[in-house]
Structure 1
Amino acid sequence: MLAGWRLKLSKCFLIPQRYVLGIMGFFAIANAYTMRVSLSLAITEMVVPIKTTQYYDPDACIPEETNATNSVIKDQTTLYDWDEKTQGLILSSFYWGYVITHLPGGILAEKFGGKYSLGLGILSTAIFTLITPFVIIGTNGNWKAVTALRVIEGFGEGTTYPALTALLAKWVPLKERATIGSLVYSGSQFGTILSNLISGELIRYTQDWASVFYFFGGLGIIWFIIWVMLCYSEPESHPFITDREKEYLQKELGSLSTEKPPIPWKGILTSVPVWALVITQVGHDWGFFTMVTDLPKYMKDVLKFNVSQNGIWSSVPYVVMWFTSLGSGWLCDFLVKKKIMGLTFSRKFFTSIASMGPAVFILVASYVGCDRMLAVWMFTIAMGLMGCYYCGMKINALDLSPNFAGTLMAIINGLGATSGIVTPYLAGALTEDHTLKQWRLVFWITFGVFAVTNLIYLTCGTGKVQKWNNPENNREKPNEDNEEKQIQDYKF
């Protein structure tokens, strides 16, 4: 009877359960980013409008509309006098909590399964997003209270990437890793698109910045309900997976340890490829968080877009980045399966495109002056090329250690996210007068970080499974040809 019930349920799904997990994982990250990024655009309308007579900028753009720099908020008592440093501090505070829960989240996901460590993390972030307006208005814009709330939000969201990586390690065969991994991780661009695009229109129509937090917090709760009903930590515990898919996954993922050995901390912490990944993640996050957090401010303060235009044009670069991440994931799998590229070379090749492309075009955007649309297209090309990161270094943790992918991602993504602490505050401190030259310095620093971190990855990165992935075999001679074996595994 139970078998018949499972068979009926499995027929309700037109696609395999690993793809259901991939799609829900995509929406998990999308929701996480809508809640994380929503403040970046909303804060441009939460502060008292800039008094342009405070300074003279010879490179300043002239607003196309006479009221472009004025606030659209109906209730002016909900505008707060936060200077640039305070805004940077508020925007960066999310990452204080985000960094801390990465490692515990990865360990818990590997020990108890990623379903609830991911789900409960997103749920808690959604709840605190919903109450954000009450905290801000209730404390009359007390920046300390807002900062504390954002730290707590970061706590919940810090489990997202480690839990998802642990889930992918148990659900996704090597031959589908770049495609499904790129799909899941591309949720960050999709979430950023939704956040910027919808936030601008919501604020314009409601004339209230609080609507942004209500909307995206509500979406996070809806996602959690669907996630709990559809997704499970591993194929063996899934109640309505087909026998065919389960057998296929058991065959393809049979190399994963059935009994979890102790985490090989010494091997991980002394691994050169792991630290190369950490440094590269820092570089990626530096550039990505600079754009995600500060591009709406640049659009308003330098290019003088109104809130609706800001939402639209701040989202366009991530539309292109999203399509690039999906296309490059498919291309990477194809090139490796056909042996046109080795696994290690493919990871380095796509990572280099995703590093140096944005480094150049972000900088160029600051030199096109007040040609607004040309600047937007430079940012768009930059972020489009950044989409290649996801089939490059982002899934590299799965290559190095399928058994400890959650822990590895926790270390790599957690340490990389320290960029999110630094970049918003640094941008705020360097752009107190909102001038183009001040922003250009921010972009030059970003260029330097991209270049240095990519060089380290080219020198020290690899796609080979590390010998400490199977601690019980550490005494044996490592298989020098394991990358060739991994490439063979791509074949159908």
Structure 2
Amino acid sequence: MSMTLFFIPQRYILGIMGFLAVVNAYTMRVILSVAITEMVAHVKLEHYDPNTCALEFDNSTKPLMNSSHLYPWTSRQQGLILSSFYWGYVITHIPGGIIAEKFGGKHSLGLGILCTAIFTFITPFVIYATDGNWVWVVVVRIIEGLGEGTTFPALTTLLANWVPLSERSKIGTLVYAGSQIGTVVGNSLSGALIAATKDWAIVFYVFGIMGIVWVILFMLLCYANPESHPFITEKEKIYLSGEIANVPQDEKVIPWKAILTSWPIWALVVAQIGHDWGFFTMVTDLPKYMKDVLHFNVKENGVWSSVPYIFMWLVSMSSGWLCDWLISKKGLSLTTARKTFTTIASMGPAVFILAASYSGCDRSLAVAMFTIAMGFMGTFYCGMKVNALDLSPNYAGTIMAIVNGIGGLTGIIVPYLIGALTENHTLGEWRIVFWITFGVFFVTNMIFLLFGSGKVQEWNHNDDKAMEFTKVTTPDAVKSTS
């Protein structure tokens, strides 16, 4: 019997908790990018480079920490530390997608975030115990990545089971756009906390605890599908059973051969690579650019590194509503809508990130260019991020695992590449980084325009029993056999 206390539709509660899942995931992912600027002992360059911005404030790069808590990590070592999260992150995507489709996504999401939260919390203890041995920091970050790798496959499976097509762009965008809010909260609050306490460790404690609290609430409030939810109203259950027709509630198989030979799937993979390359460049290394090139202090760094993501979130939410409206009014076909909004999210950032590097040492103009760039990137979520649900609601978790997992490889490459290319922290070095980013955006977007699609694929219904497959049992099938 449903409880009248829960008057908010349960699919919206899932959407809100999914949003907070991504917020927590991204805060724990990005806080190191701010913290590391105050964890590393400052090294003066032996030779002055005319492409290096002059210090405007004497206290801009003065360390806030006790010297015993500063470590002599090189630029390349910092790149490895920042990239190591993604070493673990890409490994658990496909297993996470399979587990999510077998058991419904709830437990793989909750346990994954819990793992990341615990290891975020203990990060300072590991660093102190090993006297700042960077290899151990890498190990902790890999384990955090292993936990978080299940996040998007599990969320995609949950959305496929809960969200009707008419609300897909809105709720999907709400959930996935949690990455911007997580980045804003992680960057701004990290800068403020470090400046207030003069202790970089505080951010790991605060955000680790926040992650654990979210897990407890999520496990109490959310369920794998409408049929298993004890508080859902009969009205909503009937509505969803009629609207979500492409997700079967019996035993199904994963058509690996069809998925891996599908042009729209690989176009989606390539588009994800392009987005992730640009997004990880900003998320992982924008605080370093703000500190090393523009010489913001840690509090300013946290604030100004956050501003672009506020605009990205605003555009994400508004474009989600616009995209659904255009599709429902037949102004754009589903395929055209996905390609249009993906192109805006690719070429807008490509141009304005590059423009930021030509802003020189004008800090206000550089922040403005980064902000415009990330604003354009906000249309990515109603463009290609929800595309896995279009192509195959039935196997959306597995597809998201493949797409996001391969895209996550850029998280391994980008921070190390930037660390290797920007050892002297000059504008010229960073300009090379941003030109590479422009090229990746351009090429990957062209491939998505040529081969991407918004149509449900024939193999979504899995009528061909001769396909190569892996058996998957959904939650209801598990109940029926127990």
How high is the TM-score relative to the length of structure 1?
0.94
Work out which of the residue numbers 341, 357, 366 in structure 2 matches 1:366: 357
1:56 to 39, 48, 65: 48
**Can you list the C-alpha shifts for 1:339-391, whole angstroms capped at 9, x where unaligned?**
00000000000000000000000000000111101100100000011010000
State yes or no: 1:67 paired with 2:69.
Answer: no
- Report the counterpart of residue 27 of structure 1 in structure 2: 20
Aligned length: 467
**Deviation sequence 1:394-443 (CA, Å, 0-9, x none):** 00000000000000000000000000000000000000011110000000
Kept after mapping to 2: 8 A contact 1:182/1:391 = yes
Aligned 8 A contact 1:29 1:191 in 2: yes
Structure 1 counterpart of 2:229? 238
Measured in 1, the distance between the counterparts of 2:126 and 2:367 equals 34
Query: For residues 161 and 204 of structure 2, what CA distance do their matches in structure 1 show?
Result: 34
Asked if structure 1 preserves the Cα contact closer than 8 Å seen for 2:6 and 2:232, the reply is no
Distance 1:54 1:25 in 2: 49
| Residue 425 of structure 2 corresponds to residue 429 of structure 1 | no
Once residues 13 and 58 of structure 1 are traced to their aligned partners in structure 2, the CA distance between those partners, rounded to angstroms, is: 63
1:245-284 to 2 correspondences below 5 Å: 245-284=236-275
1:217 aligns with 2:208: yes
**Partners of 2:5 and 2:381 in 1: CA distance:** 31
Do the aligned partners of 1:317 and 1:381 also contact (CA within 8 Å) in 2?
A: yes
Which amino acid counterpart does residue 41 of structure 1 have in structure 2? V
Q: Deviations over 1:236-270 (max 9, x none)?
A: 00001000000000010123212132110000000
Residue by residue, what CA displacement relative to the aligned partner does 1:99-126 show, whole Å, maximum 9, x if unpaired? 0000000000000111110000000100
Deviation at 1:474, TM superposition (A): 7.5
Matching residue of 1:36: 29
SS in 1 for 2:206: helix
Partner of 1:108: 99
Distance in 2, matches of 1:177 and 1:92, equals 32
Conservation of the 8 A alpha-carbon contact between 2:52 and 2:425: no
What is the DSSP-based 3-state SS (H/G/I as helix, E as strand, rest coil) of the residue aligned with 2:55? coil
| Pairing partner for 1:469 from 444, 456, 460 | 460
The aligned counterpart of 1:89 is 80
Distance in 1 between the 2:175 and 2:220 partners? 19
Offset at residue 473 of structure 1 (A): 5.3
Distance in 1 (CA, whole Å) between partners of 2:252 and 2:113 is: 28
Contact kept, 8 Å, 1:296 with 1:310, in 2: the verdict is: yes
**Contact persistence 1:365–1:375 (CA under 8 A):** yes
Paired with 1:13 and 1:431, the residues of 2 have a C-alpha distance of 53
> Is 2:450 the counterpart of 1:459?
yes
* Structure 2: stretches of 5+ with no match in the other structure: 467-482
Please say if 1:346 is aligned against 2:342: no
Please state how far the C-alpha of 1:72 moved relative to its aligned partner: 1.0
- Structure 2: distance between partners of 1:91 and 1:60: 23
Aligned pairs for 1:4-23 (under 5 A) are 6=2, 9=3, 11-23=4-16
How far apart are 1:471 and its partner, in Å? Answer: 1.2
> Given the two structures, how large is their TM-score scaled by the length of structure 2?
0.96
Query: Using the alignment, how far apart are the partners of 1:19 and 1:189 within structure 2?
Result: 19
Alignment of 1:398-437 (within 5 A): 398-437=389-428
Which letter does structure 2 place at the counterpart of 1:42? A
Distance in 1, matches of 2:88 and 2:104, equals: 22
Distance 1:100 1:261 in 2: 24
2: distance between equivalents of 1:415 and 1:255? 26
For residues 21-43 of structure 1, the C-alpha deviation after alignment (integer angstroms, 9 at most, x for no partner) is: 00000000000000010101100
Aligned partner of 1:486 in structure 2 is none
Residue by residue over 1:67-89, the C-alpha shift from the partner in whole angstroms, topping out at 9 and shown as x without a partner, is 1111111x210100001000000
Q: Secondary structure at the match of 1:61?
A: coil
Q: Deviations over 1:190-242 (max 9, x none)?
A: 00000000000000011000001000000000100100110000000000100
Say whether the 8 Å CA contact 2:344–2:379 is kept in structure 1. Answer: yes
Name the SS of the counterpart of 1:403 in structure 2. Answer: helix
Could you tell me how far apart the structure 1 residues matched to 2:96 and 2:465 are? 26
> What is aligned with 2:471?
none
Indicate conservation of the 8 Å contact 1:280/1:457, yes or no: yes
1:387 aligns with 2:374: no
Q: Is the 8 A contact 1:467 1:474 kept in 2?
A: no
Correspondence 1:328 to 2:316: no
Query: 256-265 vs 101-110, which deviates more?
Result: 256-265
CA distance in 2, matches of 1:368, 1:38: 26
Do 2:346 and 2:377's aligned partners in 1 also have CA atoms closer than 8 Å? yes
Of all paired residues, the percent bearing the same amino acid is 66
Is the CA contact (8 Å cut-off) linking 1:467 and 1:473 kept in structure 2? no
2:6 and 2:231 in contact (8 A); partners too: no
Task: Find the aligned partners of 1:254 and 1:332 in 2 and give their Cα distance.
Answer: 22
Among residues 274, 286, 309, which one is paired with 1:318 in the alignment?
Answer: 309
CA contact (8 A) 1:72 1:207 kept: yes
Q: 1:13 & 1:72 partners in 2: Cα distance?
A: 48
2:212 and 2:389 mapped to 1: Cα distance?
29
Instruction: Work out whether residues 183 and 309 of structure 2, in 8 Å CA contact, stay in contact via their aligned partners in 1.
Output: yes
Structure 2 residue identity aligned to 1:59: N
- How far is the alpha carbon of 1:62 from its aligned partner? 2.4
| Letter matched to residue 111 of structure 1 | K
Query: SS of the counterpart of 1:404?
Result: helix
2:144 paired residue number = 153
Listed as ranges, the gaps of 5+ residues in structure 1 are 476-492
For 1:169 and 1:217, the matched residues in 2 are separated by 29
Asked if the contact 2:11/2:163 (under 8 Å) is kept, the reply is: yes
1:132 aligns with 2:123: yes
Contact 1:50 1:69 (8 Å CA) reproduced: no
Report the counterpart of residue 45 of structure 1 in structure 2.
38
Q: Deviations over 1:102-151 (max 9, x none)?
A: 00000000001111100000001000000000001110111111111110
Question: Cα offset for 1:13?
Answer: 2.8
The structural deviation recorded for 1:64 is 2.6
In the other structure, the counterpart of 1:479 is none
RMSD of the alignment, in Å? 1.1
